């Protein structure tokens, strides 16, 4: 890279940076020094604590197995926490907790925000949230301000961004907190299922290209899980036998089916990019259909929730959760336990991870 651009002669300019990033091939890169995280409550680790929203998890018993509540929507660690551990990286800190110019950001940043979606309108009934578009803007701001001043050597900054690993886990809320709530959102009236999936994919394509223009090269895209199996959907659809709601699973499958071809297309048209697809739908279906294989006893009951399946009202402040949390797939009405998150992470972030394609996130980080 230094050879190619004679980067030592460049003085940082916010206009020059995006141009240079476009030219960078992945072959110039090295083992990922940091992780950048974009997404929703599945991986938010505290951003929503700082904004006015009902989508918060900064109270007990959230965090009971972490030691204290952090804002994670889980009893303990999220998939990306385990992922960072498996890659030997520190947990990226929540963007909104940052002091400007804090050197901690060089270890990675988490922009994920509960209730966020691919579409800006998604999740608005919860109040504030950083939409995926907003998260990308914040990353651009980090790059142009904090990173630029912490890493004045442009060649080093470029190398750092292009070799970092980017995780994008978004889309669930575009269904459960948009399309599947016809009383609050009009999307299901305006779009048939496949047209809505196309809409999401078209938006996502633009968003991923923006990340690429900002220097992202190693990108893991997480599909949408089987939302028809989460306790809140079982409750809403009056499931009597605890079986998953097929119609909901079919809706999200329309999206997942379009995601893999999109990634293949971007991978081959954006020079130097390497996109990995994480088939989280497959991982969860396997856990739900074969719970005993993973040591789970409850596959459709929330450890901390209210009403049937714990799916009517999610985990309330100071509510006493179940005791054997490692035996539950679901922590609250919407989110998995850390036990489930650990399995998901192991199936993508270890060298032998089978649920990420065409290579594991572990191998992506080593490229
Ligand atoms: C579930 O049951 C409630 C109460 O009987 C009913 O109002 C609602 O429409 C049912 N939902 C579905 C999806 O069948
Ligand atoms: C994506 O592109 C990289 C080169 O950047 C290549 O090595 C890899 O095989 C491609 N992946 C797919 C699925 O085509």
Q: What is the pLDDT of residues 185-194, one digit of tens each?
A: 999 999 999 9
Question: Which residue out of 238, 240, 245 has the highest number of ligand 1 atoms within 8 Å of its CB and is therefore the one to mutate?
Answer: 238
Backbone φ/ψ region at 12: left (φ over 0), alpha (ψ -120 to 50), beta: beta
Can you give the CATH number for the domain in which 162 is found? 3.40.50.1110
Q: 53: closest CA among 113, 132, 143, 96?
A: 113
**What HEC string does 138-165 produce?**
HHHHHHHHHHHHHCCCHHHHHHHHHHCE
Q: Are 169 and 111 in contact (CB under 8 A)?
A: no
Helix%, strand%, coil% for the chain, nearest 5? 50, 10, 40
Q: Which domain holds residue 308?
A: 2-6+26-366
Q: Are 232 and 334 in contact (CB under 8 A)?
A: yes
pLDDT tens string 110-130: 999 999 999 999 999 999 999
Whether residue 17 lies inside any domain: the answer is: no
pLDDT at 257 exceeding the cut of 80:
yes
Whether residue 12 lies inside any domain: the answer is: no
Taking the alpha carbons at both ends of the chain, their separation in whole angstroms is 16
| Strand partners of residue 94 | 110
pLDDT score for 107: 86
260: confidence class by pLDDT, cuts 50, 70, 90: very high
pLDDT score for 20: 56
Q: Are 43 and 300 in contact (CB under 8 A)?
A: no
Radius of gyration (C-alpha) of the chain in whole angstroms: 20
> For residue 26, which atom of ligand 2 is closest to its CA?
5
> For residue 238, which atom of ligand 1 is closest to its CA?
1
Pick the more confident residue, 57 or 106. Answer: 57
Q: 28: closest CA among 152, 216, 160, 159?
A: 159
Q: Tell me what the mean pLDDT of segment 177-183 comes to.
A: 97
Q: Tell me what the mean pLDDT of segment 54-71 comes to.
A: 97
Whether residue 73 lies inside any domain: the answer is: yes
pLDDT tens string 208-225: 999 999 999 999 999 999
Give me the number of domains the chain comprises: 1
Whether residue 213 lies inside any domain: the answer is: yes
Q: Could you tell me the distance, in angstroms and rounded to a whole number, from the CA of residue 182 to the centre of ligand 1? A: 14
Q: Kindly state the tokens that stand for 96.
A: 């909104």
d(CA 55, CA 341): 20
Q: 314: closest CA among 140, 62, 63?
A: 62
Whether residue 214 lies inside any domain: the answer is: yes
d(CA 128, CA 116): 9
Burial 315-325, CB ≥16 within 10 A → b, else e: beeebebbeeb
Q: Could you tell me the distance, in angstroms and rounded to a whole number, from the CA of residue 226 to the centre of ligand 2? A: 27
Whether residue 357 lies inside any domain: the answer is: yes
d(CA 24, CA 271): 8
Whether residue 21 lies inside any domain: the answer is: no
Q: 114: closest CA among 60, 155, 74?
A: 74
Whether residue 157 lies inside any domain: the answer is: yes
Pocket around ligand 2: residues whose beta carbon is below 6 Å from it? 26, 264, 267-268, 272-274, 358
Q: Kindly state the tokens that stand for 186.
A: 């009009």
- Residues with catalytic roles: 41, 332, 335
Pocket around ligand 1: residues whose beta carbon is below 6 Å from it? 237-238
Q: Could you tell me the distance, in angstroms and rounded to a whole number, from the CA of residue 359 to the centre of ligand 2? A: 9
Q: Kindly state the tokens that stand for 12.
A: 């940082």
d(CA 218, CA 272): 9
pLDDT at 5 exceeding the cut of 90:
no
337: confidence class by pLDDT, cuts 50, 70, 90: very high
Identify the residue whose tokens are 């060089």.
106
Instruction: Give the torsion sign (CA, 78, 79, 82, 88).
Output: negative
Identify the residue whose tokens are 């199936």.
347
Residues in contact with 36: Cβ distance below 8 Å, sequence separation at least 6, in sequence order: 92, 108, 109, 110, 111, 139, 164, 165, 166, 167, 216
pLDDT at 42 exceeding the cut of 70:
yes
Q: Tell me what the mean pLDDT of segment 51-56 comes to.
A: 96
d(CA 366, CA 360): 10
Would you list the DSSP string of 15-36? THHHHHHHH--GGG--S---EE
Residues in contact with 272: Cβ distance below 8 Å, sequence separation at least 6, in sequence order: 24, 25, 26, 27, 162, 217
pLDDT tens string 121-172: 999 999 999 999 999 999 999 999 888 888 888 888 999 999 999 999 999 9
d(CA 235, CA 66): 28
């Amino acid at each position: 890279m230094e050879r190619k651009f004679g980067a030592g002669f460049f003085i940082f300019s916010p206009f020059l940076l995006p141009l240079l990033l476009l030219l960078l091939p992945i072959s110039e890169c090295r083992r990922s020094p940091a992780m950048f995280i974009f997404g929703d409550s599945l991986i938010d680790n505290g951003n929503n604590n700082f904004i006015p929203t009902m989508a918060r998890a900064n109270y007990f018993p959230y965090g009971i197995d972490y030691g204290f509540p952090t804002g994670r929507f889980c009893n303990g660690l999220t998939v990306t926490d385990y992922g960072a551990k498996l890659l030997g990286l520190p947990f990226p800190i929540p963007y909104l907790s940052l002091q400007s110019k804090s050197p901690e950001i060089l270890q990675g940043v988490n922009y994920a925000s509960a209730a966020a979606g691919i579409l800006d309108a998604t999740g608005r009934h919860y109040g504030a949230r950083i939409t995926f578009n907003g998260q990308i803007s914040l990353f651009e701001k980090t790059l142009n301000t904090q990173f630029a001043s912490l890493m004045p050597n442009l060649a080093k900054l470029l190398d750092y961004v292009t070799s970092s690993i980017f995780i994008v886990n978004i889309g669930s809320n575009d269904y459960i907190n948009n399309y599947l709530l016809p009383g609050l959102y009009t999307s299901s009236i305006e779009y048939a299922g496949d047209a809505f999936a196309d809409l999401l994919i078209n938006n996502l394509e633009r968003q991923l290209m923006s990340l690429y223009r900002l220097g992202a090269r190693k990108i893991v895209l997480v599909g949408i899980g089987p939302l028809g199996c989460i306790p809140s959907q079982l409750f809403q659809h009056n499931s009597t036998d605890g079986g998953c709601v097929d119609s909901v699973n079919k809706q999200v499958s329309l999206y997942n089916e379009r995601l893999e071809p999109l990634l293949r297309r971007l991978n081959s048209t954006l020079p130097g990019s390497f996109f990995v697809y994480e088939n989280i739908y497959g991982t969860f279906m396997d856990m739900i259909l074969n719970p005993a294989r993973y040591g789970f006893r409850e596959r459709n009951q929330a450890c901390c929730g209210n009403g049937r399946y714990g799916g009517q009202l999610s985990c309330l402040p100071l509510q006493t959760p179940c005791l054997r949390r490692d035996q539950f797939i679901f922590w609250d009405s919407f989110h998995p336990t850390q036990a489930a998150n650990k399995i998901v992470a192991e199936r993508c972030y270890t060298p032998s991870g089978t649920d990420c394609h065409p290579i594991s996130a572990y191998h992506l980080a080593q490229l």
